[in-house]
Structures are given as structure tokens and as C-alpha cells.
Amino acid sequence: MAKTVRAMKAGRVGDEFDRAAAAYDLLVAANPGYHRHLRASARRLGLPRGGEGLRVLDLGCGTGASTAALAREYPRAEIIGVDASEGMLARARAKRWGPRVRFVHARAEDLAAGALGGPSDAVFAAYLLRNCPDTDAALAAVRDLLKPGGGIVLHEYSVADSVAARCVWSLVCWGVIIPLGCVATGRSALYRYLWRSVLEFDGAARLRRRMREAGLENVRTQALGGWQRGIVHTFAGTAPAPSGSR
């Protein structure tokens, strides 16, 4: 199982997302609470004044569901959606957005703040880290995209610390997600990868430790409700503030 997940991360994940892009919005719409949970995690960035004058990166934006959550919560912010899948980005770009939203094709690990107009005030990453070949390298890269004191929210699966959560996740995947994905796209590889990769990903305590080791501060986890309670979490933290500012 682990070998298959590593192989997908090494090069096939992006291809599978490209192939699934046309049906992706339909599939996530069938997930009760999916969009509501994204908005809840976006709110936990806690940006003032609707994000006025602030730049927010949406890393792993996919077809734009997380971008829409950010735009709803922070209508005055500059929002930059970033994704490694051209197919997913094409779907995102085809939607109606205000003038403060734009999209960039890139891997999160390869981004440089200068190429985006400078460091960002906040980063939102939904379901991103689990798909990165090197979690620690990805976290370090994300930290470097933030201004000192900037906030980061990871909206991420984590079931390793709970037997019950692992059981519910497997039941939902094999009873709903994998069959529905196969019907909608004619392929099951991406959805079987989703199931396996979540089971193999960090527990909440380990991910918080990784965030601290990457230099992030004020690291904490907040729960989300519904059937995904204990399965999807909000992980929040901040980039170190300038020396002497505390």
C-alpha cells in the first residue's frame, strides 16, 4: 500500500487530477458539509476587515472550491489560487470571479514569494500536504511564502490517531467515494489513492509537530463537525514574528 501511494505522489497524482477535473465539482457536491467545512476553516484564518489590503494564497486550490470559501469570507482580499494540475485550474478559471482573484499553475514546493508579488499575509491549504512527496519540505516552502506573523491554515484529513475515524473513512470510501468516482470518471485510481493516502498520513499530533519543526508558532488543531468529525481537521499556525516585536 505505501509503495503505491509513494508512486502516485512521485508523478501520477497530477495526471489523475487532470483526468478527474471534469467531474470533480459534482463529486465534492455529493459530500455533505464539504463546502461548509472549507468556509469554517477559512474563517479560522481570522483576517480583519474582510481581508482588505491583504494577500491570501490558496495552495492546492483545485477547481476553486477553497478559493470560493476564501472569497466569501474575505471579499476584500487579494486571493491567489495555486495548483499543480492544469486540468483542475482550467475548471477554476472558467468560473466567475471578482477582480481580486487570480490563479497560478505551480507546485506549492516550487513557489517563490517574489514571483507572486511578495510574501503573503496568509496561506490556506486544503487537502494539500497529503499529496506532497515531502511533507517537511512542503511545510518549509509554505512558511517561506508568509510575511512574519502571517497566518496559515491547513484543512486536512488526519485519521491515524483514531481507530473509529479510520473505520468510518474506509467504510465511506468503499461504500460511496470509490464507486461514485468510478461511475463519474470511468476510473478508480484517484479515489483508491485518496483512501490509502489518508490512512497513511500523519496523525494530528505528528502534523502539529511537523508544523512546529518547520518554524511555525501558535500551532493548534480545531475540530470540524458532521460525518467528518475526527477525520478532517483545521490545523492553524503563524510564521515567526520579527525579533523584538513581541
How much is the average pLDDT of 74-82? 97
Measured between alpha carbons, how far is 177 from 120 in angstroms, rounded to an integer? 35
Quick one: what percent of the chain has pLDDT higher than 70?
Answer: 93
pTM: 0.91
For residue 190, give the H/E element and its range. helix 189-200
The sheet that has 78-83: what strands, in order across it? Answer: 101-105, 78-83, 55-59, 120-126, 146-157, 232-238, 217-223
Look-up of cell digits 478508480? 188
Tell me phi and psi for residue 217, to 5 degrees.
Answer: -120, 170
Tell me phi and psi for residue 162, to 5 degrees.
Answer: -140, 120
- List pLDDT tens digits, range 117-143: 899 999 999 999 999 989 999 999 999
State yes or no: pLDDT of 4 exceeds 60.
no
Q: How many C-beta atoms lie closer than 10 Å to residue 93's C-beta?
A: 15
Quick one: what percent of the chain has pLDDT higher than 90?
Answer: 74
What's the chain's Rg over C-alpha atoms? 17
CATH code 3.20.20.190 for 32-159+202-238: no
- List pLDDT tens digits, range 90-120: 999 999 999 999 999 999 889 988 888 899 9
What confidence score (pLDDT) does residue 18 get? 80
